A and B are shown apart, each in its own frame.
Chain A
Amino acid sequence: MSAHEPGRLEARLRERRDAGRKLLVPYVTGGLGDDWVPALEAIAAAGADAIEIGLPFSDPMMDGPTIQEASVRALAAGATPQTILGELVEADAGGVPLVVMTYYNLVARMGHRRMASLLVESGVSGAILPDLPIDEIDPWKTEADATGIETVLLAAPTTPDARLRAIVGKAEGFLYAVGVMGVTGERSSLAASATAIAARCKAITDLPVLVGIGITTPDQAAEVCQVADGVVIGSVVVRRLLDGEGPDGVAKLVASFREALDSHS
C-alpha cells in the first residue's frame, strides 16, 4: 500500500472501483495523425476512467507491430515529448486523469525533474515506464514524488512473490498487471496468466489492479474483470486509429468495452 496520500489518479480510480465500477483505461499514441487529440477527447467521453498517452520512442521494446507502427508514424510526423505534451495542454479530457506511457530513455534525455514538471504542467497525473524496473527506479521516483506525478508499476506473471510485494510497496495510481508473457498486441483469447496475475496482485494490495497487454475484446475484458478491477486496452484502440476510423471509431470501440464491463459488474 502506498505510504502517502493517494494522488489524483489513484483517488479517482479507487473511488470508482469502490463504487462497484470496473475500470477502463484506453491507450493512444501521442502525435498519431492530426486527430489524436479529438480521439482522446472522444475516448474520455465514451466512458474511460483514465487514459494512457504514449510518447513514441524509436526502439519500443515492449510493443508489438501495431504500436510500433503508430510510433513510427508519429515520429515521422515530427512528434516529440514537447509537442505531444504541448497539445495536451489544450485538450479537454473532461476531468479524466491522464497517464503518460513511454520508455526511459526519453525521460533520461530530458532529465527526470524537467520531465516530471512538464508532465504536471501538461495536466498529466501519472507515468508508466515499462523498461524501468523497481531496482532502477529511485532517481526517477524521487523527482516524480516531489512533483506529485504518480508512478504506475508493472507486475508480470514471472514476478516472484517477494518481488511482487516490493513492487506493490512502491506502486502508485494503479498496479499494472501484465496479462500475458509477451509484448503489446491483440490476442484471440484471454491468457490464463491474465486472471492468475490479477488474483495474485489482488491478494496483496488494495490498490486498483488493472490487467493490460493482450486484452482485445469486450468479452475478454469482462472475463478478466471477474478478478481484476479493470483493464488497459492499447493495440485494439490504436489499430482503429491506424486504419483511419478516427475519433468516432475509437469512441464506439471504447463504448463497447464500457458496456461489457458495466453489464457484468
Chain B
Amino acid sequence: MIALGELMREPSPSGRFGEYGGRFVPESLVPACEELDKAFHEAWGDPPFREELDFLLRTYSGRPTPVTECRRLSEMLDIRLLLKREDLNHTGSHKLNNVIGQALLARRMGKSRLVAETGAGQHGVATATAAALFGMECAVYMGAVDVERQALNVFRMKLLGATVHTVESGSRTLKDAINEALREWVGTVETTHYCIGSVMGPHPYPFVVRELQRVVGDEARGQCREILKGDPDVVVACVGGGSNAAGTFAGFVDSGARLIGVEAAGGAAMGHGIPGVVHGMRSKFIQDEAGQILEAHSISAGLDYPGVGPEHAQLGDAGRAEYFEASDDEVLAAFKLLAETEGIIPALEPAHGLAWIVREAGRGIPRGSAVLLTMSGRGDKDVALVMEKMGENS
C-alpha cells in the first residue's frame, strides 16, 4: 500500500504510478517518448523555460483564472460552492495550459509540427491556437460523431489554420481519434510532436500533462485560502482522460479535502473499468471478456472515453480520490441550473461535476461544506447540442 504522502509525485523511471502507467508503444515510437522524457525533465528544471511558460500563461492565456463564489446556487444547495474558472482561460478551457507547455517542449526538441486528437474539440482548438502562436503546422484527428456534434470547434480549428481529419473507424469518437493520431505519429515522429490532450498515453505523457495542468490546482489552493481562510472540504472535477482533475488534485492532494472525480455514466472507466493496456498505458478500461475495448456513450464528447489516465487509477485504488458518475439527464439539468442561477453557461464536461454536487448536497456533502468545482470549460461549444436536446425533451 502506497503512503498517501507519496501520491502525485514523479512516477518511477519506467513511468509507473503504482501498478499503472508505463510505456506500451510500438518500437518505432520508443525513442520519441524517451526524447520527450529527457526534454521535459531538462526544461522543467530550467528557469528560462519556466519563465517563458509563465509569461505566456499570464499575458496570452489570461492566467491566473479567478475563483468565483456562487451566491445563489450556494444558498439553494446549502453549501459554499466555489468555481475555479478555467472557462475564462483563453480558448475557453483548461486545455491551453497543457498545450502551451507542450508546444514549448516541441520547439525545444526542434519539432515543427503538432498532431493531436480531440473529443469535444477543446484540445484541438487549443493545439491549433498554440500552433498558430508558434508558427507550427497542426493536424487534428477527431471522430466523425464529434465532428458533427462539435461543429463549431471544427470550424474554429480550421480558422486557426489546422487540418482536421475526420476519423471514421470504431466508435468514431475520442478513443478512435487517439488511435488515428498515434498511427499518424508512427509515420511522422521525426518531425512531429504528439501533443496529447490529457493525462494519458505512454510515459512520460501522463506526468508531463499533470505537471502542466497543476497550475489549476496550485492557483486554486491559494485562492481558496484567501476566500475561505483555509482549504475547501471537497474538491470536485470531471474526468475524461482526467487532466483537469489531475491538475486540480495536484494542488490539494496534501490537504484534508476530499477529492472527487466525476465521470460520464456511459464512459466510467474508474467505475466499471478493468485493468488493461491500451493507448500506451496500463490503466483501467471498459472492456469485454476477451479484452476488446468497449465503446463509451456520453452526451459530452470530452468524457466519451472508455479509459482513464493511469494516475487516477492509482489515486482511486489508494483511496485518496473517489470517483462517481453522472448521467446525461442529470448533466443537462445541472447545465441549465448554473446558467439560470449564476449566469455561467458551463461546458457539458464540468456540468458532470456540478450534477454530482447537486445530487449529493445535504447527503454525501454535509450542509455548509465548502466545495470547489473546477469549471474546466465554457459551454459555447455545447449550446447547439443542448438546444436540440431540450427541444426534444420539452
Q: List residues of A whose CB falls within 8 A of some B CB.
A: 57-64, 68, 72, 75, 80-82, 104-110, 130-133, 135-136, 153-160, 163, 167, 178, 180-183
State the majority secondary structure of interface residues on B.
mixed
- Nearest to B30 among chain A residues (CB) is A133
Q: Are A109 and B287 in contact (CB under 8 A)?
A: yes
Q: Do the beta carbons of A58 and B293 come within 8 Å of each other? A: yes
Q: Check if B276 sits within 8 Å of A156, measured CB to CB.
A: no
In the bound assembly, the distance between CA atoms of A96 and B275 in angstroms comes to 36
For A154, the closest partner residue in chain B by CB is B27
A181 with B28: in contact, given A59-B179, A61-B183, A81-B290 (CB under 8 Å)?
Answer: yes
**Min C-beta distance of B280 to chain A, whole Å:** 8
Among residues of A, the one whose C-beta sits closest to the C-beta of B285 is A105
Q: Report the bound CA distance from A154 to B30 in whole Å.
A: 12
**Neighbour of A181 across the interface among B186, B277, B280, B287, CB < 8 A:** B186
**CB pair B276 A178 closer than 8 Å:** no
The proximity string for B residues 167-195 relative to A, scoring 1 for CB distances below 8 Å and 0 otherwise, is 00110000110010011001111100000
Do B31 and A132 have beta carbons less than 8 Å apart? no
Proximity bits, B141-185, A CB within 8 Å = 1, else 0? 000000000000000000000000000011000011001001100
Is B77's CB within 8 Å of the partner chain A? Answer: no
Closest A residue to B203 using CB positions: A135
Does B80 sit within 8 A of A, measured CB to CB? Answer: no
Q: Pick the residue among A68, A131, A160, A180 that contacts B24 (CB under 8 A).
A: A131
Q: How far is the CA of A136 from the CA of B282 in the complex (A)?
A: 11
Q: How many residues of B contact A (CB 8 A)?
A: 39
Cβ-defined partner of B31 (8 Å) among A60, A82, A158: A158
- Residue contacts A-B, CB under 8 angstroms, 7 given: A61-B183, A75-B292, A105-B291, A133-B24, A154-B27, A158-B30, A181-B189
Chain A residue numbers with a CB within 8 Å of B386 are none
Q: Contacts A135-B23, A136-B23, A158-B31 given; indicate if A181 touches B290 (C-beta within 8 A).
A: no
Q: In the complex where A62-B186, A108-B276, A131-B277 touch, is A80 in contact with B290 (Cβ < 8 A)? A: yes
Other-chain residue from B23, B182, B289 in contact with A61 (beta carbon distance below 8 A): B182
Q: Which residues of the other chain, A, contact B341 by a CB distance below 8 angstroms?
A: none
Chain B nearest Cβ from A224, distance in angstroms:
17
| With contact pairs A136-B23, A183-B183 given, residues A105 and B278 touching in the complex (Cβ less than 8 Å) | yes
The interface residues of chain B lying within 8 Å CB-to-CB of A60 are 179
